[in-house]
Structure 1
Amino acid sequence: MIVPILGNVTYQITLDPTVWIFDDRKIILEEAFSNQETNEEIDEAKLAAERWEKAITTSRQARPPVNKSLTKHERENILKYSYVMPINDFLDYAEIKDGSNTVSLKTETGDVNLTLEELYNSYLLFAIDGQPLKEDGPVHLIFKDGSNKKTPIKGINKIIIN
């Protein structure tokens, strides 16, 4: 149930999607693709303020944001939704080396090749109804534009940066 990021990176990292359910960065699947036009028109000053706040908070924590404790209501709500995780933070942590521009996704059915830009602009679906993906898992890749939402890339078990 883990997905390593390997290849032309400074740090080879291993993703464990089973713990993302507790990560504050997760996004409810339906919300990830709603109001896409509105999301594109967000004020740049607001985005800069959010990045600044995140940088301050992250420097204090030195680890990814994780829910400290969940109320009973929050625990029940987790099991109601399907979730995606933006992959860009993980790619940044791996520190992709200069000259890299393609990616190979190793899946159960063979390799899928993408550009690095396509990978950066993607989500990893990791839970349906609050449960990890057991069939065709551990993650599915869905482009942020939603173009493959109905037919995601399934069964990804390794990401290799070329």
Structure 2
Amino acid sequence: MEAIILLKGNVKHSLTLDPGVWIFDDRKVDLHTYFQSSKVNEDENEKYTKEVSKHWDREIREGAVFPPTLKTEKKFEKERILTGTFGIPFAPFLHNAEPNENAWAVSFIGENQTVTMPLDEAKEVIFGFSKEGKPLKEDGPIHVYNGDGSNVTNPLKHVKEIVIK
């Protein structure tokens, strides 16, 4: 239960977040490269279309059987998960909680510190949940990174509760 984070407050739905399952989430991002690269806001529908097109082209060229390269890709992805440092955007969780019309801020409550920011700024937050393939047990369960990367070297740690105001 130590790794569970409560999202509550001025929302229609309180949520219980479990960072332990985010490693399997397709929305995860590599924290080593996320703040270094320029952000390109790509439409989800456009991203899906590109992935389907890529898959379709591959089937036309190579047939519906899985080529040996696919096995190599799966092995590489497994290795990346076991050794990677990952985060996940906060925005989808905030969207699912459905903040009330009068919600104006989000407080991330850590063990020794609380950070409050406007709702629009909080939508850009990234939660760090894995370092070198391991969950953040000593100073987790999550780290809170500002969307602009301004606190990339010193994120808010020990966050166990999120309150919408």
Q: How far apart, in 2, do the equivalents of 1:150 and 1:108 lie?
A: 18
1:146 equivalenced with 2:142 (yes/no) = no
1:137 maps to which residue? 140
1:155 equivalenced with 2:158 (yes/no) = yes
Q: Deviations over 1:112-154 (max 9, x none)?
A: 2221122111100000011110111000110121100001011
For residue 79 of structure 1, give the secondary structure of its aligned residue in structure 2.
helix
Structure 1 stretches of 5 or more lacking a match?
A: 54-69
Structure 2 stretches of 5 or more lacking a match?
A: 50-72
Q: How does 1:83-122 map to 2 (within 5 A)?
A: 83-122=86-125
Q: CA 1:48/1:16 → structure 2, altered by over 3 Å: closer, same or farther?
A: closer
Count of residues in correspondence between the two structures: 140
Structure 1 residue 96, shift from structure 2 partner: 0.5
Q: Deviations over 1:27-50 (max 9, x none)?
A: 0112211221xx35x6xxx63742
Alignment TM-score, normalising by the size of structure 2: 0.77
Q: Deviations over 1:6-65 (max 9, x none)?
A: 0000010111001101111100112211221xx35x6xxx63742786xxxxxxxxxxxx
Misfit runs of 4+, over 3 Å: 70-73
Q: How far apart, in 2, do the equivalents of 1:14 and 1:20 lie?
A: 13
Q: How far apart, in 2, do the equivalents of 1:49 and 1:152 lie?
A: 31
1:63 maps to which residue? none
Q: How far apart, in 2, do the equivalents of 1:106 and 1:80 lie?
A: 28
Structure 1 residue 74, shift from structure 2 partner: 2.4
Q: CA RMSD in A?
A: 2.1
Q: CA 1:84/1:35 → structure 2, altered by over 3 Å: closer, same or farther?
A: same
Q: How far apart, in 2, do the equivalents of 1:156 and 1:128 lie?
A: 16
User: Which of the residues 42, 46, 51 maps onto 1:50?
Assistant: 46
